[in-house]
Amino acid sequence: MQRSIFQNRLRRAEQELGFNFSEEVESENQDEEEPKDITGKVAGVVHSKDVRDSTKETSQYPKWSTVFDENDIFCNNEGYSFQTYFKKPILQDGDTPIVFIGHHGAGSSGLTFGELCKSVVSNTRNGYISKPGFFTFDFRGHSMTNLLNADDEGNYRMDIDTLVGDFKFIIDHFLAKFKDRYSSKIHLFIIGHSLGGSVAIKLLRDHQFDDVKGLVIVDIVEETAIHSLDAMDSYLNKLPKSFQTLEMAINWYVNQGLINNSQSAKLSIPSLLKHNQNGSWEFIVDLRKSKPYWNDWFKGISNDFVTLPNRISKLLVLANNDYLDKPLIIGQMQGKYQLMVFYSDTNLSNFLTTSTTVISDSMKIGHFIHEDVPNKFTKALLQFVERNDLSFRRNDESNSQLQLINKLNAKWNAHKK
């Protein structure tokens, strides 16, 4: 009976997104009694022209399966379910697998990392011995995770401590499953975008993960983020309440400059919307309900970031803005982290330390850097990993650690004096 309840929850979630549940599950359950939810009420399943039409429309756009291999559901001890996505690494015998773990920001979904994952796969296809994996998920209250927990008040329990606890559960559960499958060590590099970056910083501040080798924070500076919260209500009020079609939603995001890569938007934007009873598409998450927690989302993250243990390599990626608050400026001068600025023309080399890199050919980029320029972002990401993880080897490199170190020193101009 519990299985029927879970399958029905998944069925309803998929239908709200415009998908049909598999025929196998339909035939498997056809002799069972009508499923009920945990309250004992019949959990109705909608079969309508709207569902058929929405399914037809969503079929025009790429799905999670065009990028990822698996979409498991992780359920914590409280019964709250998280939708996850995993692109498996490709390994050679004896290699230590590297896996990127992405945590998206508020109002987004795990599929925001879809094009980045594809780019990582394509950019490591020929140049590297092993191919990294990529794991991400829809965080609490967002996308499929929201729909899997429909009518659960926990969808909007988005205080920073709860989000950190969720991320710890996700990583612990992923590591347990991964190590059971591969019986191998693993090196994790966490990528946190916006609020996801704040969650990642606070997680690594409070908990030790020996498997985490690096942290990449995308477009988040504490002082700027806190000031931007003042405009959050205004931004949410300007969001359309619904869209007649998914195409209109995608075009709106692109025309507003929120996402400048239409190919990425075709994958990420449909995951933010559900088909309503009026036949239009509305946002799944209502961020207004998270307002009580906004003020604590970003407090202290700059200092927490630069004071993370040195065993965790750190990279801060910004777009169109070289502004750093005081803790980040001091940390940068002390060499606590690497800074990557995706900007069109300003050269920062005289202002910051030599570990700052400026990408001079990136145009039309915004807050979603990893979506706007996934290939350029990937090149920066792979160089960061290559510099900080000797297990990540190119095809032409020897297994000798000494030779690896010499090659990396030559590449990064780190010669002995």
List the catalytic residues.
194, 219, 367
Distance CA 65, CA 122 (A): 16
**Which spans in 103-148 are helix H?**
114-123, 143-148
How deeply is 39 buried, as exposed, middle or buried, from its count of CB atoms within 10 A (0-12, 13-18, 19+)?
exposed
Polymer length in residues for the chain: 417
Rounded Cα distance, 116 and 124, in Å = 12
For residue 79, the surrounding DSSP H or E stretch is none
Q: Nearest-CA neighbor of 143 among 117, 104, 169? A: 104
Is the separation of the CB atoms in 343 and 361 below 8 Å?
Answer: no
Cα–Cα distance, 390 to 281 (Å, whole number): 47
- Contact between residue 15 and residue 45 where contact means Cβ atoms under 8 Å apart: yes
Q: Tokens for 1? A: 């009976």
- The CA R_g of the chain, rounded to the nearest whole Å, is 22
**Any bridge partners for residue 214, and if so which?**
189, 313
In whole angstroms, what is the distance from residue 378 CA to residue 364 CA?
Answer: 17
The answer to whether the beta carbons of residues 193 and 103 sit under 8 Å apart is yes
Q: What is the DSSP letter of 192?
A: E
